[in-house]
Structure 1
Amino acid sequence: MKKRSNRKPRPIKIPVTGLRSRVALDARLAYQVLCLQPNVEKYDDLIDIFNTMAIIAENDKRFEPEKVFLGGAARALIQARELIANQVKLPQRLLEPIRIGINTIDDMLPRVDVAFLFNAERTAVALAMEKIEVDNAKKTNS
């Protein structure tokens, strides 16, 4: 008679080594570039990171206080959009809330499950792509 094994299968692991570090580093890099000069590509990167973290904070009670800081930074980014598009250097009054938002993201990242961060990042990208498609459809129909 064969002996039964007590071995339990492990859950599948998502290969996201360093995802938290990458998100934090990307946010800091984009912020530093925006401090020095307007750059639409880095602005978009920063918007994507804030959208990802907003998705994470949306239904998690642990991040209620952080929502206020993320919201303030998002409003500052919205105000900065026109200046960046016109290649105007951002004033300090807009850079400070963005910096506080990035510091908030740094505080949130260690408390976020990596798989959840991965899924939130994919969701944010999908929502952004959907918005782009809708905007393009409106332009072609006009």
Structure 2
Amino acid sequence: MRGTVALDARLAYEVIKATPDIYAFNRLVDSFNMMSVAMLNDKRFELELNIYGGATRALDEARTLIAAGVQLPARLLEPIRIGVNVIDEVLPRLDLAYLANSELTAVNTVKDMMRN
């Protein structure tokens, strides 16, 4: 599972770096959401979570550009790349059951948000 998450995030990043692809962007956001849940209440990842915050802010800003079919500028791509690197760094330190639970929590949170 760790390898799949890391590969999916890395590939999605490479796609949005090359072209404004909403599908790849959504996959990347899903990966970021899952990892945010996984790191959120774990003191081991306080530094990584702070770094990750810049990447998530860049993703938020990138959303409208991607939806409009606009190529992302370097000022957004760089923090997103750093966030993907954080995913690569944190994944080996996460318990697989906890990671799977984080994925379910992230998915359910998004579903709840969509209902409201």
Normalised by the length of structure 2, the TM-score is 0.98
Larger radius of gyration: 1
The structural deviation recorded for 1:42 is 1.1
1:46 and 2:37 equivalent?
no
Match of 1:8 in 2: none
Letter matched to residue 81 of structure 1: R
- In the TM superposition, structure 1's runs of 4+ consecutive aligned residues that sit over 2 Å from their partners are none
Aligned sequence identity (%) = 53
| 1:131 equivalent in structure 2 | 113
Aligned to 1:90: 72
Aligned-pair CA distance for 1:69: 1.4
Unaligned ranges ≥5, structure 2: none
- Residue 137 of structure 1 is matched in structure 2 by none
Question: Is 1:109 the equivalent of 2:80?
Answer: no
Report the count of equivalent residues.
116
Q: Which AA in structure 2 matches 1:94?
A: L
- Structure 2 partner of 1:120: 102
Question: 1:56: how far off?
Answer: 1.0
RMSD: 0.6
Deviation at 1:91, TM superposition (A): 0.4
| Higher relative contact order structure (alpha carbons within 8 Å, sequence separation ≥ 6) | 2
What is the CA distance between 1:119 and its match in structure 2? 0.4
- Separation in structure 2 between the aligned mates of residue 21 and residue 60 of structure 1, nearest angstrom: 21
Pairwise CA distance, 1:109: 0.3
TM-score w.r.t. the length of structure 1 is: 0.80
Residue 132 (structure 1) shift: 1.1
Deviations 1:116-135 (A, max 9, x none): 0000001100111111111x
* Distance (Å, rounded) in 2 between the aligned partners of 1:25 and 1:77: 18
Where do 1:15-94 residues align within 5 Å?
A: 19-94=1-76
Mapped to 2, the partners of 1:59 and 1:87 lie a distance apart of 35
- One-letter code of the match for 1:50? F
Q: What secondary structure is seen at the aligned counterpart in 2 of 1:38?
A: coil
Q: Which residue of 2 aligns with 1:13?
A: none
